[in-house]
Amino acid sequence: MNQKIRNQFPSLSRQHNEMPITYLDGPAGTQVPTSVINAISDYYKTSNSNAHGHFVLTQETDVIVEKTRAKVATFLGGEGGHTISFGQNMTTLNFALSRAISGCLQVGDEIIITQLDHESNRAPWLALRAQGVVVREVKLKADGTLDYKDFANKINEKTRLVAMGWAANIFGTINEVRKIRKLTHDVGAWLLLDAVHYAPHLSIDVQAIGCDFLLCSAYKFYGPHVGLLYCKPGLLDRLQPYRLRTAYQHAPYSIETGTLNHAAIAGVKAAVEYVASFGKGKTERAKIVNAMQRIHQHEIGLAQQLWDGLAAMKKVELYGPSMNTAERAPTLSFLYNGKTANEIGQYLGAQNVCTWSGHFYAIKATEVLGLAEKGGVTRMGISVYNTKADIDRTLEIMERLK
Ligand SMILES: Cc1ncc(COP(=O)(O)O)c(C=O)c1O
């Protein structure tokens, strides 16, 4: 990936204190290309309006929203725009979904979550304990992967739903969701995937994977702050989300509350188109799949360089699956002996290297692995616009820490 790509992101040319800014904070949200910024501002310049009316602006708004649904369905390999709902963010959508699903559950029904997950895919399900639902937690192993034996032991005929992440935002672990899909099929349970950390790095095919629900967030893949929910056709209409009687009562609208962020939704469409622009293929779906392969190859190469450089530092201890793992997200977490994660974050931040420190809401994983009492870990993530120069600069600054 080259300077041409970097030129597409206005924020990358920003300096602070006469130093460049090195963006390794992608797991918390990526920078945004000009095409996405323009799509958002163009909406305000031309079509700003409420939805479902009889004049040109509102009709254009409806077209933009529906086109974005179709675009997101293509991005996720879904059956069409009718499977895609929008929300404020993934967390808000998942709470709405858990409340809707709770209406189908009886006392004693079981839900499985994992210790590796972001709290947004734990708390909405743990809340259902109050109505007598049994929520079981699959164990996390010291290497940052899930205990699949424990998983198999916990799934049984009472399991109604498995809610798990596809990629871990703290360690870059890719979970074996195909294996779990087989287990959920055997007992007739639904499978819900949190793909927030997976979507920026690898291509998703909801039909091939056979999940019932999948959530992600456009701000993690070069778009604005909009949450996205895929529901298998027909499934959302079996649920009763909280909604107004004045709103559409059917999928994909029934889980959306109030007026959507139309301008941001216009930006989501542009973000998917931006990702697709990296790929080759006859259809937009083929382009997206090819683009994600190319993006992943680029990102993993840089992650390897970063891992090797950090691993060579005596005081650094890296966590999570090694870079030799077959499938991995380009997200690295580490501790530096003698300094807390916050101190490392502050040191790097003072030199305009953007990283995050702490638990990143994957708080259970840090508690289980004894990292919480140490103040969590420092996390660096690679995005499409990162370069070898970013990694060289970061490692050189880390070397100076001695
Ligand atoms: C893996 C994962 N899941 C869920 C979320 C929550 O996403 P949102 O901010 O859209 O609620 C995040 C956010 O960082 C995440 O990394």
User: pLDDT tens digits, residue range 44-92?
Assistant: 999 999 999 999 999 999 999 999 999 999 999 999 999 999 999 999 9
* CATH classification at residue 59: 3.40.640.10
pLDDT digits (tens, 9 = 90+) for 257-302: 999 999 999 999 999 999 999 999 999 999 999 999 999 999 999 9
Query: Does residue 14 sit in the same domain as residue 94?
Result: no
Percent of all residues in the chain with a pLDDT value above 90, rounded to a whole number: 99
3-state DSSP percent of the chain in helix, strand and coil, to 5 = 45, 15, 40
Q: Are residues 373 and 386 in the same domain?
A: yes
Domain interval for residue 16:
3-33+285-399
Could you say which of 234, 258, 276 is where a domain stops? 276
Look over the chain and give the mean of its residue pLDDT values, rounded to a whole number: 97
- The fraction of the chain above a pLDDT of 70, given in percent, is 100
Task: Give 228 Cα–ligand 1 centroid separation in angstroms.
Answer: 11
**From the alpha carbon of 217, which atom of ligand 1 is closest?**
10
Other beta carbons within 10 angstroms of residue 153's beta carbon come to: 12
Domain shared by 18 and 131, yes or no: no
C-alpha pair distances (Å), 185 with each of 90, 160, 181: 25, 11, 6
Q: Which atom of ligand 1 is nearest to the CA of 93?
A: 11
- At residue 156, the pLDDT reads 98
Q: Which residues in 88-234 belong to E strands, given as ranges?
A: 110-114, 134-138, 159-165, 190-194, 213-217, 227-231
Work out the number of other CB atoms within 10 angstroms of the CB of residue 103. Answer: 12
Q: Does the Cβ of 345 fall within 6 Å of ligand 1?
A: no
> Which of 93, 133, 87 shows the shortest CA–CA distance to 112?
133
pLDDT at 1: 61
The tokens of 286 are what?
A: 């083929």
Ligand 1: which residue has its CA nearest to atom 2?
A: 196
Q: Do residues 260 and 370 both lie within one domain?
A: no
Q: pLDDT by residue (tens digit) across 350-372?
A: 999 999 999 999 999 999 999 99
Q: What is the pLDDT of residue 326?
A: 87
Q: How far is CA 320 from CA 119, 325, 337, 359, 365, in A?
A: 18, 10, 17, 14, 11
pLDDT at residue 233 greater than cutoff 70: yes
Q: Ligand 1 centre from 401 Cα, in Å?
A: 31
Do 175 and 96 belong to one domain? yes
379 lines ligand 1 (CB under 6 A): no
- Cβ atoms of 10 and 341 within 8 Å: the answer is no
CATH number of domain containing 343: 3.90.1150.10
pTM of the model: 0.98
Atom from ligand 1 closest to the CA of residue 219:
10
Tell me the average pLDDT across 153-158: 98
**Which ranges of 219-283 would DSSP assign to H, the alpha helix?**
262-276
Candidate of 120, 215, 268 to mutate for ligand 1, largest count of ligand atoms within 8 Å of Cβ: 120
Same domain, 343 and 395: yes
Decide: residue 185, CB within 10 A, 0-12 exposed, 13-18 middle, 19+ buried: exposed
Tell me what the mean pLDDT of segment 243-255 comes to: 96
Residue nearest to atom 7 of ligand 1 (CA): 90
Quote the number of domains for the chain.
Answer: 2
Task: Tell me: do 42 and 64 sit in the same domain.
Answer: yes
Question: Among 243, 276, 309, which residue terminates a domain?
Answer: 276
Strand-pairing partners, residue 191, are 162
Q: For residue 224, what are its two tokens?
A: 């604005």
pLDDT of residue 402: 72
Same-domain check for residues 224 and 321? no
CA dist 225 and 81 (Å) reads: 19
Residue 233 sits in the same domain as residue 320: no
How far does the centroid of ligand 1 lie from the alpha carbon of residue 120, in Å?
A: 7
Do 196 and 355 contact (CB within 8 A), yes or no? Answer: no
Same-domain status, 332 and 389: yes
Copy the structure tokens of residue 247.
């709103």
Count the neighbouring beta carbons within 10 Å of the beta carbon of residue 296: 21
Do 305 and 339 lie in a common domain?
yes
210 and 323 within one domain: no
Domain closes at, from 208, 241, 276: 276
Q: Pocket of ligand 1, candidates 118, 173, 174, 379: which has the most ligand atoms within 8 Å of its Cβ, to mutate?
A: 118
Q: What is the pLDDT of residues 171-225, one digit of tens each?
A: 999 999 999 999 999 999 999 999 999 999 999 999 999 999 999 999 999 999 9
Query: Residues 165, 118: contact at Cβ < 8 Å?
Result: yes
